[in-house]
Structure 1
Amino acid sequence: MADDEMWDVTDIQGTPTGTLHRRGDGPVPAGSFHIVASVCLVSSTGRVLMSRRAEGKDYPLAWEFPAGSALRGETSRTGAVRELAEETGMQVARDDLVLVGRVIEERALFDLWVARVDGEPVPVPDPEEVLESEWVTLDVVRRRWEDGGFATPWNARFEQLWETLQERVADMGKRAAR
């Protein structure tokens, strides 16, 4: 999470405008966006991987799915795969990601993806990013969200994407059963 991290500035469709924005220089210009991508990793047992943000981050000790900003030249998929690997040590292929949906936020386009893994691999969190990770049911995710345990931006994301997320996680579980 270096201050020299550069993002593509996009229009509301997510198309890069040709302008770059440096993380830490405040928000992207009004009417512009940057891509934030997240992965809900689904185990073959049907549970999902949640992570708890490190103390030194914004929204310290709050729960989330691994997420972060796409860097210059990255697509949402590429950024999601990189963030998942950086924060948890888990590797998935870009083509294994299935889109849950996009939330248009004030200055970001937030994409939530799901991907399936065999078993419940042990995460190797980056201690600067993640305090802990754990495999839980979607019911636990929902309870933590409703109890205010998630980072604040997740409230609007879950309000818009929860039903589709449940469907995608169930679909991943059916794939595992085949």
Structure 2
Amino acid sequence: MADDEMWDVTDIQGTPTGTLHRRGDGPVPAGSFHIVASVCVVSSTGRVLMSRRAAQKDYPLAWEFPAGSALRGESSRRGAVREVDEEVGLVLAPDDLVLVGRVVEERALFDLWAAAVEGEPTPKIDPEEVLDAEWATLDDVRRRWEDGAFATPWNARFAQLWDVLITRVAEVRGAER
């Protein structure tokens, strides 16, 4: 996560406006957005991969699905794949991602994707980004969310996308077999 990281500024539909924004320069301008993408990685056992944010990050030690901002010129799908590789060392193909949904946040368009993997590969975490990662059931994820263990932005994300997430997890798991 470098401070020279550049994001495309988008409109509410996610279309780049031609303006760039440097990470660390405060929020994107009011009425504008940047793309944040996340992946719910689904094992063939039906469990999903949660990661715990490193202590030096915003929302320290909170749980989430691997996520981050799409970089300049990068689609949501490609940004999601890159973030999963960087944070937990799992390589996914962009075409393997299935969109769960988009949440319009104050200054970000948050896209949640689901993707299946065979087995439960051991995460190779980036200690700058992630303290820990573990495979858990969706019931475990929901319990942690309801107990306030997930990073605060996930409250609205799960509130809007939870039912669709359950459906997409079943779909991608079924497609993997």
**Do the aligned partners of 2:98 and 2:172 also contact (CA within 8 Å) in 1?**
no
Distance in 1, Cα, partners of 2:142 & 2:125: 22
Partner of 2:61: 61
Kept after mapping to 2: 8 A contact 1:43/1:116: yes
1:118 corresponds in structure 2 to 118
Partner of 2:9: 9
| Cα distance in 2 for residues equivalent to 1:132 and 1:27 | 28
Q: Which residue of 2 aligns with 1:168?
A: 168
Structure 1 position 142, deviation (Å): 0.1
Shift of the alpha carbon at 1:108? 0.1
Task: State the shift of 1:144 in Å.
Answer: 0.1
**Aligned residue number for residue 134 of structure 2:** 134
What is the alpha-carbon distance in structure 1 between the residues aligned to residue 173 and residue 97 of structure 2?
14
Corresponding residue number in structure 2 for 1:32 = 32
Tell me how far 1:170 sits from its aligned partner.
1.1
The alignment status of 1:93 with 2:56, answered yes or no, reads no
Is this contact kept in 1: 2:41–2:48, CA < 8 A? yes
1:88 and 1:173 map into 2 onto residues whose CA distance is: 20
Please say if residues 85 and 91 of structure 1, whose CA atoms lie closer than 8 Å, have aligned partners that are also in contact: yes
How far the C-alpha of 1:2 sits from its partner, in A, is 0.6
- Please state how far the C-alpha of 1:173 moved relative to its aligned partner: 2.4
Residue 78 of structure 1 is matched in structure 2 by: 78
Q: Deviations over 1:19-65 (max 9, x none)?
A: 00000000000000000000000000000000000000000000000
SS of 2:4's equivalent?
Answer: coil
Q: TM-score, normalised by structure 1?
A: 0.98
Distance 1:27 1:51 in 2: 25
Root mean square deviation of aligned Cα = 0.6
Which string of whole-angstrom CA distances, capped at 9 and with x for unpartnered residues, describes residues 94-150 of structure 1? 000000000000000000000000000000000000000000000000000000000
TM-score between the two structures when normalised by the length of structure 2: 0.99
Distance 1:159 1:97 in 2: 21
5+ residue gaps, structure 1, are none
Q: Which residue type is aligned with residue 151 of structure 2? A: A
Deviation at residue 161 of structure 1 after TM alignment: 0.2
Whichever residue aligns with residue 33 of structure 1, its letter is F
Say if 1:88 and 1:126, in contact at 8 Å, map to a contact too: yes
- Letter of the aligned partner of 2:157 in structure 1? R
Using the alignment, how far apart are the partners of 1:90 and 1:24 within structure 2?
A: 27
Q: Is the 8 A contact 1:84 1:91 kept in 2?
A: yes
Instruction: Give the letter aligned to residue 62 of structure 1.
Output: A
Letter in 2 for 1:70: A
Partner of residue 51, structure 1: 51
State the AA in 2 paired with 1:8. D
